[in-house]
Amino acid sequence: MKQLILIIVVVCFGTFQLQAQADAELYNKALAFKKERKCAEAIPVLLKLLELKPDHSKALNDIGWCYNETAQFAKAVPHLQKAIALDSTDASAFGEIGYSYYSLQQYDLSVEHLNKANQFKPKTETTVYYLGLCYVKKNNKAEAVKKYNELSLMNSSYAGKLLEEIKEMK
């Protein structure tokens, strides 16, 4: 009986190790595609991984990024929402979903999430830039100018782009 229990434990442990290795291989494959900006190839790999590990917060964030990169913003949102539910301090997920909402013209939601991203990882140029763009779209020139000033202090190349948008405000 003890030998049978030992065999079962060894087999279960071995199966767990093989599955963990397979999951890591899938994730590394997806990351390689993502690094090369081959999102069309990365998305199915990430979906397969998420079938196996639905709570893989990094994969959820990565698939959200890939959907954003391929202009599938509405598809990005639920994955990024789940990533945030799993890690409520993930600045990257907040920034990505903020960008998704900006692209979907949901500026209030975008501002809310981009401010969270900025809270957890201050002075990220793209976060500040998209916050500024949201304020432009919401016709809040004072807040847009504040974001321009932040970008200028960072010597960001985004400062000039935001300034152009502010100048076009009515």
Domain that holds residue 94: 2-122
Q: For residue 160, tell me if it sits in a domain.
A: no
Nearest to 135 by CA among 114, 104, 120, 156: 114
Which helix or strand (DSSP H or E) is residue 73 part of? helix 73-86
Q: For residue 128, tell me if it sits in a domain.
A: no
Nearest to 164 by CA among 115, 138, 129: 129
Q: For residue 113, tell me if it sits in a domain.
A: yes
Spell out where 16-155 has E strands. Answer: none
Return the CATH number at 64: 1.25.40.10
Token output for 108 = 């209030």
Token output for 101 = 């909402």
Look at residue 20 in the predicted model and tell me its pLDDT.
54
Q: For residue 71, tell me if it sits in a domain.
A: yes
Q: Is the pLDDT of residue 153 over 50?
A: yes
Q: For residue 43, tell me if it sits in a domain.
A: yes
Look at residue 15 in the predicted model and tell me its pLDDT.
46
Enter the pTM of the model. 0.86
Question: How many domains, the chain?
Answer: 1
Per-residue model confidence as pLDDT tens digits over 72-128: 999 999 999 999 999 999 999 999 999 999 999 999 999 999 999 999 999 999 999
